[in-house]
Structure 1
C-alpha cells in the first residue's frame, strides 16, 4: 500500500508508503534463546569434514554460513552500553548539527559578495560546460532542500545494499550491519543497521518514503536539525528493539531504515495532522495524517503484542514515539537550547585562530 498526500501548507508528500519496513532476519535464529548452530553428529571416519547443512536462502535475508552470535541473555545489564551509546551519540549528533548550522550561516555571510561577483563573471565569460554536467546541475537545482538533504542518505543505503551482494563480506555485514542484542557487537550496529537492506524491494520502499517526506520534514526543522534527528532516530529505534527483544526473549537480528523513517513520518503527521493522505492507486479514498499515524501505531502495537515476526514492530514504535515526542517537546528541550554549544565552539574557534 502506498500513500500520496498533500499538506495544506502547499507542501506535497507524494507516494508515502503506509508502513516503513524493518525486517527481522529469523532464518539465522537456530534456537529460540541462542544463536549458535545446532550441533550435528560428527562422522568418526571423516572428522575433518565441516559439519552443517546448506544454508537457507531467502529474498529478504542474506545467506551466512556461520554468523557470530553469542548466547542470548535476558539480563537488563546488556542494555547499559546501548543506552549510554544512544544518549551519547544523540547528544553528539545534535551538537554537531548546531555547529554545522553555525558554520554554514557564517560561510554564507562571508561568501555573499564573492558569489555575486562569480555570477557576474559567469555571465560575461563564454560557457564551456559539458552538456551532461549542465543537465546534472539543472536536475540538482530543481530538487527541494529536503530532497537534496536525503540524497546522501539514499546513496549510503544503496552502497550498503551493494556490499550485501559480495559473498565474502556476509560475515562482516551480519555482524555490524544487523542489530541484535545477542551479537558480539552491540553499539555500532545500532547506527549501521539503519543503512542496511538486503532486499531491493525493502530498500526501495524505505527510500521512497524518505524521499516523499523529505521536503516537509526539512521545511519544518531545517537541514541540520533534520540530519541530527534522523541519525538519532535510527539509534533510538534500535535501542527500543533491543529492549523489547531482551524483555520478551524473541531474539533475532534486524536491519532496515524504517525505525528512523517512522520518526520522520510521525513528526510530519504530528505537526500537520490535518494533511490529507490518499492511497496512491486509490486516490478517491482520502484520510488525515493524524488518523493514518494512529492506524500505523495501532498495527505495530498489535504486531508487538501478538508476536508477529516479519517486521521489527518495536523499532517502528520506538521511532514513531520518538518523532512524536521530538516535535512536541524535544525541539524546545534540545534544539532551542543549543546556544551554549555554539558559544563554546565559537570561543574555541577564535582561540585556535589567534594561536
Structure 2
C-alpha cells in the first residue's frame, strides 16, 4: 500500500499533562508581588487573566493509592473488549446491509428517481452529499472524530460548562469519576495548538490505517487505545505520586501511528517544513517511543509521556499480534450474531 502520498508530520502529537499546582503558584506570585510593592510600580497584570479552569483544581496526593487502579483496570479490559466486539458486529451489519441492497437491486432504479427528486430541492444537502462521496474511507472516519474534538474544544470556552468538563473530560486517578473520563478525555482539548497538532497527525495517518484495517477495526483500535493510554497514565501517576489532570487524543493517535509505522516500517515520512529531510516509519516510531520513555524515566511533566507509551504499545501490539490472533479469530462471534439476526429477507 502506498502511504507516502498521505503522510506528512509537522509536530509530534501530545497529550496535555496539566499540573494544577503550577498554575496556582503563578497566580499566587502575582498577588504577592502586588502586595509587596507600591501600587504605582506594579505592572497592570490582572491575576484572573492567568487563570484557567484548572487553576482552582486541587488534587490531594494522598488519594493516589494503588487500590484505585482496580476499577480502572476492569473498566479498561471491559471497554476494550466491547470496542472490538462492537466493531465486529458493525462490520457484520454493514455486510448484511450490502447483501440486502444487492437482493433489492431491481428496485434501485425507482428509488434513485425518488431520491433525485428530493435532493434537487435542497442544494445544500446535495452539495454535502457530493462532498462526502468525494472523501476517502479514512477521511470519512476522521471527519466525525475531528468534529467531536472541535465540539468539546468549544465547550471548554463556555464558563458554565467548565465544572462538568473538569469532572468528566479530564482523566485523573484521584477523582471520584475515575472511569468515564478515561473515554471522554480522548476527545478533549483545551489548547487550540494541541487540538490542531493532534488532528493533523490523525488525518495524516487515518487514510492508510483505515485502508489496512477497515473502518470498523480502525475505530475499535482507536477507542480501545484511548482508554489503555489513560490507564497507563493512571499507573504512572499513582506509582510516582504525581497528581495531575490529563486530556487529549494523542494516546489513541499514538496507537494509529504505532500500528502504521510497525505494519509499514519502510514507508518514507517527512517533516512538512523540511521536505528534503525524510526518514523511515520504523525509525520514526523508535525515536518517538524512545523520547517518551526518556520522559517517563526522567520525570518530564509537560507532556503525559506515560499515556503516549500506552497508546503506542497498543498500536504496535495490534500490528504484530492483535490483528492476526484476535481479529482474524472473531468467527464464532459473527456466527452467534448471525444466528440471533436470522436469515436475510
Take 1:190 and 1:96, find their aligned partners in 2: how far apart are those partners? 18
* Deviation of 1:136 (Å): 2.1
Give the structure 2 partner of residue 265 of structure 1: 257
Take 2:20 and 2:7, find their aligned partners in 1: how far apart are those partners? 35
Give the structure 2 partner of residue 15 of structure 1: 8
Please point out which of 77, 81, 87 is paired with 2:67.
77
- Structure 2 runs not aligned, ≥5 long: 29-45
Q: Within 5 A, what are the aligned runs for 1:31-46?
A: none
Give the structure 1 partner of residue 83 of structure 2: 93
Relative to structure 1, the CA distance from residue 24 to residue 116 in structure 2 (aligned partners, 3 Å threshold; closer, same or farther) is farther
- Contact 2:64–2:173 under 8 Å retained in 1: no
Take 2:158 and 2:285, find their aligned partners in 1: how far apart are those partners? 37
**Is 1:306 aligned to residue 298 of structure 2?**
yes
Take 2:139 and 2:286, find their aligned partners in 1: how far apart are those partners? 26
Take 2:294 and 2:109, find their aligned partners in 1: how far apart are those partners? 57
Take 1:10 and 1:308, find their aligned partners in 2: how far apart are those partners? 33
* Deviation of 1:75 (Å): 2.8
Deviations 1:89-134 (Å, cap 9, x if unpaired)?
Answer: 0011111111111111011011125467435764796672444333
Relative to structure 1, the CA distance from residue 119 to residue 149 in structure 2 (aligned partners, 3 Å threshold; closer, same or farther) is farther
Take 1:295 and 1:64, find their aligned partners in 2: how far apart are those partners? 32
Matched residue of 2:8: which SS? Answer: strand
Take 1:177 and 1:184, find their aligned partners in 2: how far apart are those partners? 13
**Is 1:25 aligned to residue 25 of structure 2?**
no
Take 1:156 and 1:275, find their aligned partners in 2: how far apart are those partners? 30
- Contact 2:172–2:178 under 8 Å retained in 1: yes
Relative to structure 1, the CA distance from residue 116 to residue 226 in structure 2 (aligned partners, 3 Å threshold; closer, same or farther) is farther
Give the structure 2 partner of residue 107 of structure 1: 97
* Deviation of 1:313 (Å): 0.3
Please point out which of 117, 139, 151 is paired with 2:143.
151
Give the structure 1 partner of residue 156 of structure 2: 164
Aligned length: 324
Give the structure 2 partner of residue 343 of structure 1: 335
* Deviation of 1:210 (Å): 0.8
Structure number having the greater helix percentage: 2
- Contact 2:4–2:268 under 8 Å retained in 1: no
* Deviation of 1:16 (Å): 2.8
Take 1:302 and 1:180, find their aligned partners in 2: how far apart are those partners? 22
- Contact 2:202–2:253 under 8 Å retained in 1: yes
Matched residue of 1:278: which SS? Answer: strand
Take 1:268 and 1:56, find their aligned partners in 2: how far apart are those partners? 42
Take 1:228 and 1:94, find their aligned partners in 2: how far apart are those partners? 5
Take 1:286 and 1:108, find their aligned partners in 2: how far apart are those partners? 41
Give the structure 1 partner of residue 204 of structure 2: 212
* Deviation of 1:350 (Å): 3.2
> Normalized against structure 1, the TM-score is what?
0.83
Which sits farther off after the overlay, 121-130 or 140-149?
121-130
List structure 1 segments (4+ residues) > 6 angstroms apart after TM superposition.
Answer: 29-32, 123-127
* Deviation of 1:31 (Å): 9.5
* Deviation of 1:326 (Å): 0.8
Relative to structure 1, the CA distance from residue 83 to residue 10 in structure 2 (aligned partners, 3 Å threshold; closer, same or farther) is closer
Give the structure 2 partner of residue 184 of structure 1: 176
Which sits farther off after the overlay, 109-118 or 284-293?
109-118
* Deviation of 1:309 (Å): 1.0
